[in-house]
Structure 1
């Protein structure tokens, strides 16, 4: 039988219809799925992300001691009001939609080019796709992340992201929005590569024991586990990134003039030792695991929807 006459088994056809992108799959639909996933991911777990930022700061002013995630959330909401837990969320919403659209569009394009959608297990394609995706999206998202963290610190008086961005630019220049970008890439490239590899691997294993096609539980579980593992492994670089992105809020001259990865890491090492690089680890895992589960679940829901609609119209 000729190759083009081969009859594709129903199970294989269904797996292709969902797990790989059809040749004519719309880029706009893929980017819309990514934007939806990004906004959903960051919005739901935002209060824990705010707590993580505060826990990671070196010599915060005023000094804050949080004995646990629950205690910290209660303390912040009582002292500053419940809405303070969501301060800076608008920056995430404005930036996360476009950034995640670029993120997942790049991910799918590179994965397809490297043969990651073919049958079988392709960890190298998954890791490479994730690395390329984060390089592209972080270039767009980094300034929004700086604004977010400036608004998250205790005592922030910024009333809007425009006011915060304008003030930072006026006082510190454009460099302030990208001083943490190299550190961010050093964190997010291995984070994303590890996350995507773990996600793809876990999904493949879990789907062997479940029905073929879209399965919300599989993607939610695999995403959560992958996010938690990747978050724990990259926490030290996240602490360095937080110092660089919030340096302008510090009254400490050395912190205010910290330059780059090694300068910030040196400050943390001298003042707090090795343990300083793991501040906020629990909060980061608690944020990343469900956030990644939500992100992948939302993305796969949207992707499955667009593919189904496209198949119905062709």
Structure 2
């Protein structure tokens, strides 16, 4: 019993570390896309070129494109760690339920993933629930990040941003736009996990025709399949959920003008047209495709290596008994 508990703790630990590492890496590398998306969505001008020109003309252009990296890395890194850990726990429990699992492929080794194989419905629910939970915990950092990236505020530090939000809006200010965020993130994450697993299944199936029966899939091929699946799923789900992202950004930046999701959506469509709901779409699709591909590829590879190490240690321990 104690050995099983220790194993579960180790599993949760390396899922947390893998999620933290993959999320932080993607956030730092892709911050310029996030910054430009925020600027485009705040303005209503639908111009990526104007946003780039505005940042490029600032005193320190290079640093300008990475403005908000620290809150972004904190939010994305910690958020990914909480999300992947929660998702793993949910999927591990779901894998013990017969109605939530799916049949294994004919060639078990011809798979790019060591994660549990669940049904479409179970993947949808697990992804949505885990993301909503992580999103609620990380909401204060999300609000600070968005306002820090925007040029509507002149925050000099994360602490200064937090102090100003609390002084003017109290605790509710840190959760501005949570409804729109949950409506964006929960369906997005559910659809993402579902799409990601389906893309992996298809790509692994196509690749397995070139692998001899009983032969395992190489690490480089697994990483390629996971990266491609993450990019395809990220781009697809970003297109579907972009209206919620656009509304969420307006609420977080201008809570007095955009009070809630319904009113903000109506105001945007009335004053700027339906197109305003797709502000920043190209940037978000590109950013999400790359960040999702990087995050899931790194996460799955770290999990694969960690599990291989644990199995190796376990075999060595049994061999000495």
| Structure-1-length-normalised TM-score | 0.83
Instruction: Give distance in 1, aligned partners of 2:93 and 2:138.
Output: 25
Q: What is the aligned counterpart of 2:47 among 66, 78, 93?
A: 66
Question: What's 2:29 paired with?
Answer: 44
| Contact 2:58/2:64, CA 8 A, preserved across alignment | no
Task: Say yes or no: does 1:149 pair with 2:184.
Answer: no
Contact persistence 1:111–1:117 (CA under 8 A): no
Return closer, same or farther for 1:247/1:304 CA change in 2, 3 Å cut-off.
Answer: same
Q: Is the 8 A contact 2:46 2:276 kept in 1?
A: no
CA distance, structure 1, for counterparts of residue 177 and residue 291 of structure 2: 22
1:229 to 231, 236, 257: 236
Tell me which residue corresponds to 1:161. Answer: 158
Q: Distance in 2 between matches of 1:235 and 1:65?
A: 14
**78-87 or 38-47, larger mean C-alpha shift:** 78-87
Alpha-carbon spacing, 1:198–1:106, altered in 2? closer, same or farther (3 Å): same
What SS does the corresponding residue of 1:159 show, helix, strand or coil? coil
CA separation of 1:117 and 1:88: change in aligned 2, threshold 3 A: farther
Cα deviation, residue 23, structure 1: 6.8
For the pair 1:212 / 2:189, whether they are aligned, the reply is no
Contact kept? 1:158, 1:164, Cα under 8 Å: yes
1:103 aligns with 2:110: no
Rounded to whole Å, the distance in 1 between the matches of 2:68 and 2:153 is: 10
CA distance in 1 between counterparts of 2:147 and 2:195 reads 32
Distance 1:67 1:32 in 2: 35
For residues 182 and 154 of structure 1, what CA distance do their matches in structure 2 show? 24
Cα pair distance change 1:67/1:247, threshold 3 Å: closer
When residues 158 and 305 of structure 1 are mapped into structure 2, their CA distance, relative to the original with a 3 A threshold, is: same
1:173 is displaced (CA, Å) by 1.3
Secondary structure (helix, strand or coil) at the match of 1:82 reads helix
Q: Distance in 2 between matches of 1:84 and 1:229?
A: 29
Q: Tell me, what secondary structure is at the counterpart of 2:90?
A: helix
- Give unmatched runs, 5+ long, in structure 1: 1-21, 249-255
Q: Deviations over 1:182-227 (max 9, x none)?
A: 1111111111111111100111111121453641100000000000
Question: How far did 1:104 drift?
Answer: 0.6
Choose from 129, 132, 136 the match for 1:132.
Answer: 129
1:74–1:298 distance in 2 versus 1, CA, 3 Å: farther
Cα distance between partner residues in 1 of 2:54 and 2:82:
37
Task: Specify the alignment match of 1:112 in structure 2.
Answer: 92
Alpha-carbon shift at residue 79 of structure 1 (Å): 2.7
TM normalised by structure 2 equals 0.81
1:57 counterpart = 2:54: no
Distance 1:43 1:51 in 2: 14
Correspondence list, 1:243-262, <5 A: 243-247=250-254, 256-262=256-262
Maintained 8 Å contact 1:77/1:83:
no
When the two structures are aligned, how many residues end up with a matched partner?
280
SS at match of 1:57: helix
Match of 2:264 in 1: 264
Using the alignment, how far apart are the partners of 2:103 and 2:79 within structure 1? 27
Offset at 1:299?
0.6
* Structure 2 runs not aligned, ≥5 long: 1-6, 96-100, 106-117, 209-215, 315-321
Give distance in 2, aligned partners of 1:304 and 1:117.
Answer: 20
